[in-house]
Structure formats: structure tokens, C-alpha cells
Amino acid sequence: MALPTFISIRRQRRPANKSSPCSSVDASPPNGGHPSQSTIKAATRTRLIFSLLTSALFFIALIFLILVEIGSTKGNKPVLGSIYFMKLDLSHIIPQSVPNASLINSIARTLGLHDFYQVGLWNYCEGYGNEITECSKPVTLYWFDPVSIILSELLAGATIALPQNVIDALSLVRLASRIMFALFLTGACTCFVSIFLTPLSIFTRWATFPIAIFAFLTALTTTVATIIATVMFIIFQKVIHSAEDTVNIIPEIGTKMFAFMWTASACAIVGWLLQMGMCCCCASRRDIMLGKKTGRRKVWKESGQVSPAEMGEPENRRRGLFGRKKQ
């Protein structure tokens, strides 16, 4: 025979959760405890601002990189014609210490020698006085060889003896120019992609780290290309200055080109640093939906909702990197 069962009528006492913030909040979160989309967007506004700022920095860097790319490609346009790495003034190639220097300089011009030559990333331009008369055809992996250019433009049988140290420096210019060309082109392409990738970090921090690596590639290629161009043309300028006793070639560094290069590099570096900072700072939308972070606390107070990270979560229990709980 089955024995009767007795159910205790004593009411079980449950300890009140003093640490739960829900007991002191009258309004309960809608949608079964999940915050609304408007609240999530408002709570992650700080991360959105930094994401858009990073994208804007890469956009600015891309504009300046484009100016570096198209500099000296069109001689008939004043803006593009004034952007160059270096300008060589050969209008007084024979030093004044040489007898009849003015006459020889005028003869050199009639033999086909132009007053100046300026070098860009894809080609070079030439002209008389302050006016560009012609630009060469853009060439991939271009490097500036003033010796070949000058000798090719002189009439048959005419020649100008350039110093040996200038000729020796051309081997370094050839290698550095090709590396610089490839890095500038890579930096411009990766910078364009980074403009659209960086805003995606607003959704989750797990996607922020791969985007930060890609942003680092953009900053690295742009900065290294800028450093190579700066060092190469400064050395080339000093080499030409050392030969003033033999030939009077006046080298001039392109101020606009150097300003554009370094501005693009600075924007790319700052954009990468901001992207790296978002790997561990500023709550993402996924963090708030999963209750890993609260984001802007002011938003929760104004909306009257309780953030998922505060529901039943002790105050002394913190979360580490990527929302992991610390014991």
C-alpha cells in the first residue's frame, strides 16, 4: 500500500538580493530584459564617434596620398605642376667662375637642355623659366635618371660631363624609388579600404582587432614610403650640392609634396592608434546586448531601463578584456 505524502505548508524564505539594482528601479526593461535599439545606439555613441573619426582620418590620408600620386603628371594644370619631390634648376649649369659661362649656358639651351626638370612619382616634367612645357608619359615603378634624360635631349654629339658621385647615387635612387612607388600605391589602396572597414568596429570588439591590423598595414606602408622619399631626396640634394664646383645644378625639395606625404602618414598613424584603442575601450553594441558592458551610464538613467550588465550582477564583480568575468 502506498504511503500518503505530505507537502509542507511552511513557506520557503528566499534571501533578498540586495545587490540587484532591479529592486530599486520601478521601470523594467522592455522586450524581456533586452534594451531597445535606440538605447543600444545611444549607449554606444562614444564608440561610434571614435569609429567615424578613424574613418575620417583615413579619408584625409587618402586625399593627400592621391595628391602625391598625381603630382607632376599634368604640366598644364598649375596645382599638379607644383607638386614634385625635387626640382633641378639647370638654367646656369656652368658655374660663373668658368670663363664665358653665360655664353656657354645659352649654347647649352640651344642644344636642347631645358631650364629645369622636376620629378614626380610616375614621371618627370621639364620646362623653361617657370613654365612647364612637357611631361613624360607615366611609367609604373618609375625612377628619376637625370643623366639619361639630359643626354637624350641634347643634340647628337653634344654631351655634359656630370660628376661621378652624382652618377654613383643613381643606383640608390633606382632601388629606393621602386620601393617607394610600391609602398605609396599599397598605402593608397589599403587606406581606401580602411575608410569602410573602421566603422564596422561599432558592432563588436572581436572585429576591431583584425581591422586594427589592416589599419596598421596602411600606416606602415604610408609612413615607410614617406621616410624613404624624404631620406632619398635629401641625400640626393646633398650629393648635387657637393658638385657645385663642377656643374651648377640647383636642387630644390618640393615643399608641397613633403607636406602631403607627412600629413597622410600622420593621419594614418593616428587612425591606427584610435582603432587599437577601441579593441579594449568603449562598449560595442554586441557587448551591451550580451551584458558584457554598460556603455554610457547616463543613457540608462535617462531611459529608466536597467542595463543587462547590471541585472543580477554584483557590484564588486568586474569584467576584463572582451567582457570576460574576473573571479
Instruction: Read off the pLDDT of each residue in 110-129 and give the average, rounded to a whole number.
Output: 85
> What pLDDT is recorded for position 110?
61
pLDDT at 176 over 80: yes
Confidence of residue 24 (pLDDT cuts 50, 70, 90): very low
pLDDT at 187 over 80: yes
Least confident of 36-40, 56-60, 104-108, 301-305: 301-305
Of 9-23, 111-125, 257-271, the range with the highest mean pLDDT is 257-271
Least confident of 48-57, 179-188, 214-223, 238-247: 238-247
> What pLDDT is recorded for position 145?
84
Of 45-54, 242-251, 262-271, the range with the highest mean pLDDT is 262-271
The rounded mean pLDDT for the chain is 75
State the DSSP string of 243-310.
Answer: TTTT---EEEE-HHHHHHHHHHHHHHHHHHHHHHHTTTSS--HHHHHTTS----HHHHHHHT---TTT
> What pLDDT is recorded for position 263?
97
Query: What spatial distance separates the first Cα and last Cα of the chain, rounded to whole Å?
Result: 52
Instruction: Read off the pLDDT of each residue in 65-77 and give the average, rounded to a whole number.
Output: 90
* Conformation bin of residue 33: beta by default, left when phi > 0, alpha when psi is -120 to 50: left
Phi and psi at residue 91, to the nearest 5°:
-65, -25
Query: Residue 168's CB: how many other CB atoms inside 10 A?
Result: 10
Least confident of 18-27, 35-44, 118-127, 198-207: 18-27
pTM: 0.74
Task: Give the residue with greater pLDDT, 59 vs 326.
Answer: 59
Locate 264 and state its grid cell. 597622410
Confidence of residue 311 (pLDDT cuts 50, 70, 90): very low
> What pLDDT is recorded for position 129?
81
Task: Give the residue with greater pLDDT, 177 vs 291.
Answer: 177
> What pLDDT is recorded for position 244?
66
Least confident of 91-105, 175-189, 209-223: 91-105
Of 17-26, 124-133, 152-161, the range with the highest mean pLDDT is 124-133
Instruction: Read off the pLDDT of each residue in 186-199 and give the average, rounded to a whole number.
Output: 94
Contact 251, 236 (CB under 8 A): yes
Confidence of residue 130 (pLDDT cuts 50, 70, 90): confident
Least confident of 168-177, 200-209, 294-303: 294-303
Q: 325 pairs with which residues across the strands?
A: 319
> What pLDDT is recorded for position 283?
65
168-173 long-range CB contacts below 8 Å, 24 or more apart?
169/235, 169/236, 169/239, 170/145, 170/146, 172/232, 172/235, 173/143, 173/144, 173/145, 173/232, 173/236
Locate 99 and state its grid cell. 670663363
Condensed to tens digits (0 to 9), the pLDDT of residues 248-275 reads: 778 899 999 999 999 999 999 999 999 9
Task: Give the residue with greater pLDDT, 224 vs 43.
Answer: 224
For the sheet with 116-119, list strands across it: 131-135, 124-128, 116-119, 86-89, 250-253
| Identity of residue 128 | Y
Closest C-alpha to 45, from 282, 305, 304 = 282
SS3 at position 87? strand
Instruction: Read off the pLDDT of each residue in 75-90 and give the average, rounded to a whole number.
Output: 87
Instruction: Read off the pLDDT of each residue in 181-202 and give the average, rounded to a whole number.
Output: 93
pLDDT at 152 over 50: yes
Instruction: Read off the pLDDT of each residue in 231-248 and give the average, rounded to a whole number.
Output: 79
